[in-house]
Chains A and B, each alone.
Chain A
Amino acid sequence: MTLQVLWFVIIAVLWTGFFVLEGFDFGVGMLHNFLGRNDIERRVAINAIGPVWDGNEVWLIVGGAGIFAAFPSWYATWFSAGYLALLLVLVALIIRGVSFEYRGKIDRNRWRATWSWTLTIGSALVPLLLGVALGDLLAGLPIDSSAEFTGNFWNLLTPYGLWVGVTLLVLCQLHGATFLGLKTDGVVRRRGVSVARVAVWPALFLVIVFAVWTRALSDAPGWTVVFLVLTVVGAIAAVVFAQAGREGRAFAATAVAIGGTMASLFASLYPNVMVSSTSAANNLTVANTASGDYALKVMTVVALVLFPLVLVYQGWTYWVFRARISVPSSVADAPTQESNPA
C-alpha cells in the first residue's frame, strides 16, 4: 500500500470514527428536548454525553486537517465549492457547541428552553449538511480541468447527496436513541428505547436504498461492496435488537450501521476523492491531489505514535464515565419546579 492510499484510509477512518462517536452526540442533541419532558430529564440526556462530546468533535477537526495536509487540492476544491453549505455547518457547530456550555449557566426556564432549541437544531443540521457534502464527492460536482468548482449553491443539492444527508440525519438520531438506552436510567432510558424501536424502520429503508445507489455510482473495486453489505447488516441487526430490547447490542448495531455508511462512502469513492460531473478527466483522485512522500511519511510517523495513544485515553474516558446517568434520587421524588414548556 502506498503512503497516498494509506492516508486515504486514515482519513476514511477519521470520518468514520467521527460519525460513530459524534453521531450519538448529534442524536442526543436532537432528542433531548423531546425525550426529556422537564429540565432535569433533559439534563440527564445532555450529561450522558457531557464528558465526551468535545473530544468526539475533534475527530472532525483532525479529519478536515488531515485532508488539508495529505490531499491539499481535494481540501481546496471541496471546501471552496461547498462555501455556503459549510458556512451553515459552521453556524450549526457553533450554536451547538455553546449551547452545551451556556444552557446550564442560568437557572431560568426561558434561558434553558432557548439553548435547548439551538442544541436541537444545530445537532440536526450538522449531519444533514455534512451528509450532503460527503455525498456530493461521489455524485459529482461541476469541476473544471484546473480543479476549480464551476457551479453554484444549487449544484450542491445533488439527489444522491441529499439522500446521504437524510440517511445520516436519521442514523444519528437512531444512534442517539440507542445510546440513551444504554447510558441512562429511568424514564429517559425507557423513552430512548421506544424511540429506537420506531426509528430503526426508516433507517433500514434509507440504508438499503443508500447501498444500492452507492454501488451504482461507484468506480471502486468490486470487493468494496463488503462495506455496503456490512452497513445493511448493521441496520438489520439494529431492527432485531431494538425490537428485542437488547440495549447494548442495539447500540453496537447502530454504530456498525453508521460507521458502515461512512466506510462505504469512502471505499466506493476510491480511487477518486471528488468526482467531476463535467468530465471524468477532471476527477480529483488520490494520486493527483496527494502531498509529497516526505510530508506523508512525517505525518504517518506522527499518526502511528499518537493515534493509538488517543484511542487509549479516549477509551479510558468512556470507562471512567461508564455508569448510567439517572435523575438523582433526591430530585426524583420531589415534584419538579419546572413547568413543562415542550
Chain B
Amino acid sequence: MSQLDLSRIQFASTTIYHFFFVPVTIGLAFLVAILQTKWYRSGNDEYRRLTKFFGAMLVINIAIGVVTGLVQEFEFGMNWSQYSRFVGDVFGAPLAMEGLAAFFLESTFLGLWVFGWKILPRRIHLLTIWLVAVGTLLSAAFIIAANSWMQHPVGYEINAVTGRPQLNSIGALFTNPVFVWGYLHVVLASLLTGAVVMLAVSAWHLRRASEVALFRHSASVSLATLIPVSILIMLVGSHLGVIETRYQPMKIAASEAQWNTCQPCSFSAFQIGGGNDDQNPTKIIQIPHLLSVLATGTWNGQVEGLNELQAQYEQEFGPGNYIPNVFIQYWSMRVMAYLGALMSLLALWGGWLLFRRKLESSRAFLFVATWAVFTPFIMNTAGWMLTESGRQPWIVQGLMLTANGNSPSVSTAEVVISLAVFLVLYAALGVVAVFLQLRYARRGLELEHDDESDSDADPRVPALTY
C-alpha cells in the first residue's frame, strides 16, 4: 500500500472516530441545556438531577471530541501538506474563525458550567450551558463551511502567479448551497444522535423500573426532540441530494449505481452484485420515478449516468478515472436512509406510547429503544462515507485530485507508524470511554452524593470536581 493510501485510511478512520463523539456533544449540549432550563423554571429537583446526570455524559464526550479534533487539525499539515499549501488561503480562514468564535466559547464556558454549580448565580449558570451549546453549533458551522468548499468550491479566484485559489468572498462560503443544506443536515443528525442516546439510557432505566419518575421526564424530552428531528432530517437530506446532483453529479449517480443516463429514473431498494466492475447488478424492488424525485426534485427528472459523466470529465480534465467507489456510495446511502426511516418509526411509536401513558410499561418499546443506541453512529458514519467517498477522486472538487494532496516529505514508514499508533490509542480510548459511559449510565445516579460531600466548604471555592 502506498503512502497516499495509508494517509487516506488514517484521515478517514480518525475522522470517523472523531465524529462518533461530536454529534453526541452537540445533541446532548442542547438537551442538557433544555433540562436545566426546565429545572430553572419549575424548581423541580428531578430536572436538576437529570441535568447533572446527562451533563456528566456530555463532559466525557466533549473530552474525547476535543482531543481527537486536535488530531484532525494537525493532520491537514502533517499528511496533506500539498493540499494545505494549495487551499490554505481559502480553507484556513473558516478553521481559524472556528477556533476564535467557537472553541474558546465552548471550552471556557464548559469549565464555568462544570465548576460553577455553587459559585455562579443560577441564572448565569444556566446561561453558561446555553453558551456551550451555541459554541458547539458555531463550531459545526465553520467546519462544514470548510468541508462544503471542498465539495463545491465558491468565493475564490485562481492567483495567476501561484496557480492557487485565493479567497475573494467570505460571504460565498456561508451562502454556498452545499453548506446551507449540509449544515442543517449535520445539526439535525447531531440532535438525533443526542436524543437517541438520551432515550436509550432512559429506556434502560425504565426497563429496570429504576427512578421511573425521573427517566420518564428525560424520555419525554428526548422523544419530543426526536419526533420532529427524525422527520425533518429526511426532508433536508433529500433536498441536499438534489443540491449535490447539481454540483457533484458523480456522487449521486454512484449512490444509485446508475451507469447510464435515465429519465425518468427508478430507485432500487437493494441490489445484488454491482460495484466498480459490474455495470449490470440485479436490482430488487424498483420504485419508479423515485430516483428522479430524490436527485432532481422533479417527477420526470433526468439523472446523468456514470459513463456519460466519465466521458464529460475526461474531456474537461484529461484522462483518468473520475468515478467514485460505487459499492461504498450505493450502500452507505441506503444504510443511512433506511436507518433514518427506522428512527422516525421508533420516535412515532414512542410518541404514541407517551400519549397513551404507556411508555414505561411497554417492554417491547423499551427494549428496542435501548438497543437503538448504536443506530445514529452507524447512520452518521454512513453519511460521511457517502459525502466524502463520493467526492473522490477529488480532494477539492474540480480543483485538486486527492492523489496530488499528500505530503511528499513524509515516508510510507512514518505513516505506518502513525496509523498504528492511532489505531492502538483510539482503540484503548474507545474501550475506556465505552466502559466509563456504560458504568456511568447505569450507576451515575447512585454516585451523586459524592459532590454533596463538600457542601459545608466555602461556597466561593470550586468543588473538587476532578
As a 0/1 sequence over residues 67 to 87 of chain B, the CB contacts with chain A under 8 angstroms (1 = contact) are 111110110111101101111
Interface mask (A219-231 → B, CB under 8 Å = 1, otherwise 0): 0000000000000
Is there an interface contact between A65 and B99, defined as CB atoms closer than 8 Å? yes
Q: Is A3 an interface residue (CB 8 A)?
A: no
Q: Are B425's CB and A91's CB within 8 A?
A: yes
A317 partner, pick from B63, B108, B407, B411, beta carbons under 8 A: B108
List B residues 47-94 near A (Cβ within 8 Å): 59-60, 63-64, 66-71, 73-74, 76-79, 81-82, 84-93
CA distance A323 to B463 in the complex (A): 11
Q: Which of B66, B81, B114, B458 has the most CB of A within 10 A?
A: B81
Set of chain B residues within 8 Å of A210, measured between Cβ atoms: none
CB distance A317 to B409 under 8 Å?
A: no
B88 touches A62 (CB 8 A): no
Tell me, in angstroms, the Cα distance from A325 to B111 when the chains sit together: 16
| Interface presence of B408 (CB below 8 A) | yes
Q: Which residue of A lies closest to B116 (CB)?
A: A320
List residues of A (49-65) whose CB comes within 8 Å of B's CBs: 50-55, 57-58, 61-62, 64-65
Take A62-B100, A94-B429, A330-B456 as given contacts and tell me if A149 and B409 are in contact as well, using a CB distance cutoff of 8 Å: yes
A154 in the interface, Cβ–Cβ < 8 Å?
A: no
Query: Which A residues touch B74, using CB under 8 A?
Result: 64, 79, 86, 89-90
Given contacts A57-B107, A98-B64, A295-B89, whether A62 and B466 have CB atoms under 8 Å apart is no
Interface hit among B195-203, B237-245, B393-401, B414-422: B414-422
Judged by a CB distance under 8 angstroms, whether B256 is at the interface is no
Using a CB–CB cutoff of 8 Å, the interface residues on chain A facing chain B are 40, 43-44, 46-47, 50-55, 57-58, 61-62, 64-66, 68-73, 75-84, 86-87, 89-91, 93-95, 97-98, 100-106, 147-150, 152-153, 291-292, 294-295, 298-299, 302-303, 306-307, 310, 313-314, 317, 320-321, 323-326, 328-331
Closest 5 A/B residue pairs (Cβ): A72-B88, A79-B77, A69-B92, A62-B99, A80-B81
Known: A43-B466, A330-B453. 5 other contacts (CB 8 A): A55-B108, A62-B104, A69-B92, A320-B112, A323-B458
23 A-B pairs within 8 Å (CB atoms) are namely: A43-B466, A44-B464, A47-B465, A55-B108, A58-B108, A65-B95, A65-B96, A66-B99, A68-B73, A72-B84, A75-B76, A79-B78, A101-B59, A102-B436, A148-B408, A291-B166, A292-B159, A302-B100, A313-B104, A314-B108, A320-B119, A325-B464, A328-B464
B residues whose Cβ falls under 8 Å from a Cβ of A: 59-60, 63-64, 66-71, 73-74, 76-79, 81-82, 84-93, 95-101, 103-105, 107-112, 114-116, 119-120, 159, 166-168, 170, 407-411, 414, 417-418, 421, 425, 429, 432, 436, 439-440, 453-454, 456-458, 460-466
